Amino acid sequence: MKRIFRFFVQHKIIRYLISGGTAAFVSLSTLFVLTEFFGVWYLASSIVSFMAGFVVSFTLQKFWTFQDIRRDVVGRQIILYLVATGSALGLNTALLYVAVDVFGLWYMLAQFLVSGAIAVGSFFVYNFLIFQKNERNEDIKEINKPFGILFPRRAVPGRAFRVYIGTPLQKMRPLLILKQQLGLPDYKGKKPFRAVYGRMDFSFLTVIHDPAEADFFLLPHSYFSARAVAKDYVENFVRLAEHCGKKVVLFADGDSDESIKIPHALVFRTSQYAHKKYGNEIIMPPQVYAEDVLLESAFSLRPKREKPVVSFCGWAELGTLKQKTKFFLRNAYADARMFLGDPHAEVRKQGVYFRKKAMYFLEQSPLVETSFLKRNFFSVNKHTIKLPREVLRSQYLENMAHSDFVLAPKGDGNFSIRFYEALALGRIPVLIDTESILPREDEIPYNEYIVRVPHQKIPFIGTYIAHYYNQHTEASYADIQRRARALFLEKLRMDVFLKNAFTKLFFA
């Protein structure tokens, strides 16, 4: 039975026939019901049934038959699909008319034959045009070549990097790593995640006005934000870098994992999944939320106890109907894709799904103690926050400081700021591995500093944590706390990380 199932799953043509058969059943059933039970003219009901069948066909063919899970080409695929649908619809109607009114065939038999003919043609359109996954040209092959960056152990002294940034957009905030270079005033507002840049040192960047003299081009805005409001500006900047024979550095921070197919670009990003990472993408640590975790007074040692304490403070409950609806629909969508054979569907579920699941099993585990402060709102968003920022931050830090391990699964993006703040405080992050990629992962022995739990193994999360904890003596446990903080300050703090990365990329 398993061999039969594997045969059906692994052979594209078989999957195509099953998907097409399902779509044909939907189409024929709709045609029959509309014509026989509702008295709709057969040509009109044919149009409706054809569209219903194509909706089913597109969904099954994309995610199951051709296993195309790309999201960055959905817009193009929708356009191509609409064109193909319109063409096939016109062909379907014309052939059906000829078969019924000219040759006198029964409309159901005629529709069956016409659908079969169109299905054959559609396979080639889907396979070689709409859902073609291997259409990478030489530029994309060049993108996917790994750069093999080997970082120095610490920040490397030396001359500043000469960067060309062009003319920043006036109505858009520039990258805050350019705060000093652009003469921006210290931030005095209420958003600590903007003020934290004042505690970091990006003086290793020197802005120059002659692009020919630059070590590299640096887009002075977040890539996705700039592209959304000034696409021509971004394209012209990228084109100028190519004309000058320079690499262009792009910062794609935030939750998006959309591919950026620019061959001469180096993309620094916070969120990506292992199965779709390009060779020119460099996973970077996000900024910490506030400067408080950088202060020496924030660090304290915890003595080793009989059982470790696992903490979490943050959004882990669904409060509003909108949140519940979004959670249900995204989970249902992911589950449907999993059912259709997408091996990467589950990792794209909302972070709150993994938080709730992990906390449930931790609360059931006799191997650990828990300290969970569950909120039904996102405390960083000004539109959802329900308490003063100072109160929320104090609770967050206190919860983390009085624990041994900090649960740190993904958010909407495939990364966690909490992960890095836990390290900064000398705590051990518990990473739910959702095809996660960590900065400098090929060099940093993360397994010494974190507990990594595959997302499929969440029911055993307590065992993973206890195993790590029990390996340590009281002395080694104190040492790993100090080393965790040192790891963050010396390698994963954003300014240190970027200086080391640029040194290796451009001065090696």
Q: Are 371 and 399 in contact (CB under 8 A)?
A: yes
For the chain, the straight-line distance linking the first and the last C-alpha, in angstroms and rounded, comes to 56
Q: What is the pLDDT of residue 155?
A: 43
Helix (H), strand (E) counts: the chain: 16, 11
For residue 101, report the phi and psi dihedrals to the nearest 5 degrees.
-85, -25
Q: How many residues does the chain have?
A: 508
Dist CA 341 CA 405 (whole Å):
35
| CA distance linking residue 70 with residue 68, whole number of Å | 6
Q: Where are the domains of the chain?
A: 2-135, 143-285, 296-492
Continuous segment of H or E residues that includes residue 295: none
The backbone torsions φ and ψ at residue 155, rounded to the nearest 5 degrees and listed phi first, read -55, 135
H or E segment at 374?
strand 369-375
| pLDDT at site 8 | 44
Question: Residue 364: which of 458, 432, 431, 428 has the closest Cα?
Answer: 458
> Alpha helix (H) ranges present in 280-416?
321-339, 351-364, 389-401
Contacts of 482 (CB under 8 A, 6+ apart): 301, 426
Helix residue ranges per DSSP H, 33-127:
42-60, 74-97, 107-125
Q: Which residue has the tokens 């966690």?
A: 416
Query: What pLDDT, on the 0 to 100 scale, is given for residue 152?
Result: 42
- In the structure encoding, which two tokens stand for residue 346, read together? 């589950």
Note down pLDDT in tens along the chain; length 508 residues: 444 444 444 467 788 888 878 888 988 899 999 999 998 998 888 889 888 887 787 778 777 787 776 666 766 777 887 788 788 878 888 998 998 988 888 888 888 888 888 877 877 787 777 886 544 444 444 455 544 444 444 444 556 899 999 999 998 999 999 988 998 887 766 666 666 777 889 999 999 999 999 999 999 999 999 999 999 999 999 999 999 999 999 999 889 999 998 999 999 999 999 999 999 999 999 987 778 888 899 999 999 999 999 999 988 888 778 878 888 888 888 888 887 778 898 999 989 999 999 999 999 999 999 999 998 776 666 666 667 778 888 899 999 999 999 999 999 899 999 999 999 999 999 999 999 999 999 899 999 999 999 999 999 999 999 999 999 999 999 999 999 999 999 999 999 999 999 999 988 6
Residue 349 is given by DSSP the state: S
Q: What is the DSSP annotation of 113-178? A: HHHHHHHHHHHHHIIIIIS-S----HHHHHHTS-------SSPPPSSPEEEE-----TTSPPPGGG
The CATH class of 296-492 is alpha beta
Helix (H, G, I), strand (E, B) or coil at 323: helix
Instruction: Kindly report the number of other CB atoms within 10 A of residue 14's CB atom.
Output: 13
Alpha helix locations (H) across 340-458? 351-364, 389-401, 417-424
3-state DSSP helix/strand/coil % of the chain, to nearest 5:
55, 10, 35
Cα distances (Å, whole numbers) of residue 69 to 5, 39, 343 = 22, 40, 10
Residue 460: other Cβ atoms inside 10 A: 14
pLDDT of residue 274: 95
Q: What whole-number distance in Å separates Cα of residue 69 and Cα of residue 275?
A: 11
The H or E element containing residue 348 is none
Ramachandran assignment for 348, one of left (phi > 0), alpha (psi -120 to 50 degrees), beta (any other): alpha
Alpha-carbon dihedral sign for residues 142, 145, 150, 154: positive
